[in-house]
């Protein structure tokens, strides 16, 4: 039985302590990170991890990201090569997830990796997620804290709206900073564009040429838009359903989706549309009047939630340049518009 409303506690020592008790008891807690709010559980406890899947209604073949305090903790769970260590040192703590071979003695529940021999791992920067990791003393598996297929939450109110009583406790620490999910990198392939751009990754690999990955001194970084490709590290295809047949884990075609239809690259609104503007396209509301893609990323999901909630039946959104984090914005918009 689910309760209709979650408890929402403001960030603070008492809230972290209470959340940590829930985590150690095998429960789930929604907690902010610098990207989006996550739905956290003890990654070493299979029953706890199962509660995440149940609360989200997430297909169990879709693996989760594990959050740890620092690189040393990550190295107890995953095997790092020179490239991975270079990226970790450059971008952790921060919005970068690395897909790496999982260690046999990691202690991570196999439900977290959905049976893969790789694991997605990151060191978050946010004080609430770091506080919860420290207070619980556990690595925390945490997908975005939304119902499966929905828009990732950037506020506690989004989490409550999407998951309702399926989550007992939400730590509220305001709107998240980046507003888009972490960049996911496997080897030299970007599986999901995000706040750490492919260009930034390329720059940091330049000085750390990987062994046996092409000519030494080159640093080719490819973005594999998983809508069309399957990554080398992907799991075997899984049986049907709306989210079935997935080749690239989590990179489902219809994902991050508002409930309403979404029209991309709109310059003007039709009479039934609510237009989300950017730069010169003013819209009913704007992602960034000055045309700043970082500001737009931070506001994107909040405005999509708002668009779903208002009275206009259809959403339209202005064109966003694919520069910097704009690449990740357009990745999310393509998925949000896909039907």
CB of 194 vs ligand TXA, minimal distance in Å? 7
Question: Which of these, 115, 74, 95, 92, lies nearest to 32 by C-alpha position?
Answer: 95
Contacts of 124 (CB under 8 A, 6+ apart): 33, 34, 35, 67, 93, 94, 95, 130
Phi then psi for residue 99, to 5 deg, are -100, 115
CA 232, CA 86: separation in Å to the nearest integer?
21
Map the footprint of ligand TXA across residues 241-260, applying CB under 6 A: 249-251
Contacts of 84 (CB under 8 A, 6+ apart): 78, 98, 100
Site residue total, ligand TXA (CB under 6 A): 26
Q: Is 163 in the site for ligand TXA (CB under 6 A)?
A: no
Selected binder of ligand TXA within 63, 131, 168, 283 (CB under 6 A): 63
| Three-class SS state of 249 | coil
Contact 186, 99 (CB under 8 A): yes
Whose Cβ is closer to Mg ion: residue 95's or residue 277's?
Answer: 95
The sign of the CA dihedral 68, 74, 76, 79 is positive
Region of 3-11, 58-66, 213-221, 293-301 interacting with ligand TXA (CB under 6 A): 58-66
Map the footprint of Mg ion across residues 73-132, applying CB under 5 A: none
Question: Which of these, 157, 134, 151, lies nearest to 73 by C-alpha position?
Answer: 134
Whose Cβ is closer to ligand TXA: residue 153's or residue 277's?
Answer: 153
CB of 152 vs Mg ion, minimal distance in Å? 5
Q: Is 142 in the site for ligand TXA (CB under 6 A)?
A: yes
Question: Which of these, 97, 154, 146, lies nearest to 301 by C-alpha position?
Answer: 154
Q: Is 181 in the site for ligand TXA (CB under 6 A)?
A: yes
Map the footprint of ligand TXA across residues 182-221, applying CB under 6 A: 182, 184, 191
Q: Is 162 in the site for ligand TXA (CB under 6 A)?
A: no
**Pattern 95-124, ligand TXA, x by CB under 6 A:** --x-x-------------x--x-xxx----
* Residue facing ligand TXA at closest CB distance: 250
Contacts of 198 (CB under 8 A, 6+ apart): 190, 221, 223, 327
First to last CA, the chain: 32
Whose Cβ is closer to Mg ion: residue 148's or residue 286's?
Answer: 148
Q: Is 62 in the site for Mg ion (CB under 5 A)?
A: no
Q: Is 144 in the site for Mg ion (CB under 5 A)?
A: yes
Q: Is 62 in the site for ligand TXA (CB under 6 A)?
A: yes
> Contact positions toward ligand TXA, by CB under 6 A?
33, 35-36, 38, 62-65, 97, 99, 113, 116, 118-120, 142-144, 181-182, 184, 191, 233, 249-251
């Amino acid at each position: 039985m689910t309760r209709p409303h979650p408890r929402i506690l403001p960030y603070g020592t008492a809230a972290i302590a209470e959340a940590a008790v829930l985590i150690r008891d095998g429960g789930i807690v929604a907690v902010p990170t610098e990207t989006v709010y996550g739905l956290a559980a003890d990654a070493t406890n299979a029953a706890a991890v199962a509660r995440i899947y149940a609360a989200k209604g997430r297909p169990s073949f879709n693996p989760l990201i594990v959050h740890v305090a620092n690189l040393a903790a990550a190295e107890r769970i995953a095997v790092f090569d020179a490239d991975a260590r270079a990226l970790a040192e450059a971008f952790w703590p921060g919005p970068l997830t690395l897909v790496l071979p999982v260690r046999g003695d990691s202690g991570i529940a196999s439900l977290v990796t959905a049976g893969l021999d790789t694991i997605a791992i990151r060191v978050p920067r946010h004080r609430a997620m770091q506080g919860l990791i420290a207070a619980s003393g556990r690595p925390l598996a945490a997908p975005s804290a939304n119902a499966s297929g929905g828009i990732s939450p950037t506020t506690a109110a989004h989490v409550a709206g999407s998951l309702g009583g399926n989550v007992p406790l939400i730590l509220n620490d305001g709107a998240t900073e980046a507003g888009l999910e972490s960049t996911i990198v496997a080897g030299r392939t970007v599986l999901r564009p995000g706040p750490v751009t492919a260009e930034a990754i390329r720059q940091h690999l330049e000085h750390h040429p990987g062994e046996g990955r092409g000519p030494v001194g080159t640093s080719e970084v490819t973005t594999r838009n998983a809508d069309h490709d399957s990554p080398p590290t992907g799991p075997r295809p899984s049986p049907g359903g709306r989210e079935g047949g997935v080749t690239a884990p989590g990179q489902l075609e219809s994902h991050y989706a508002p409930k309403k239809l979404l029209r991309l690259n709109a310059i003007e609104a039709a009479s039934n549309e609510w237009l989300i503007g950017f730069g010169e396209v003013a819209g009913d509301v704007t992602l960034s009047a000055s045309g700043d893609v970082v500001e737009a990323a931070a506001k994107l999901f909040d405005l999509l939630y708002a668009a779903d909630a208002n009275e206009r039946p259809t959403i339209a959104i202005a064109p966003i340049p694919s520069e910097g984090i704009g690449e990740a914005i357009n990745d999310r918009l393509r998925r949000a518009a896909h039907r």
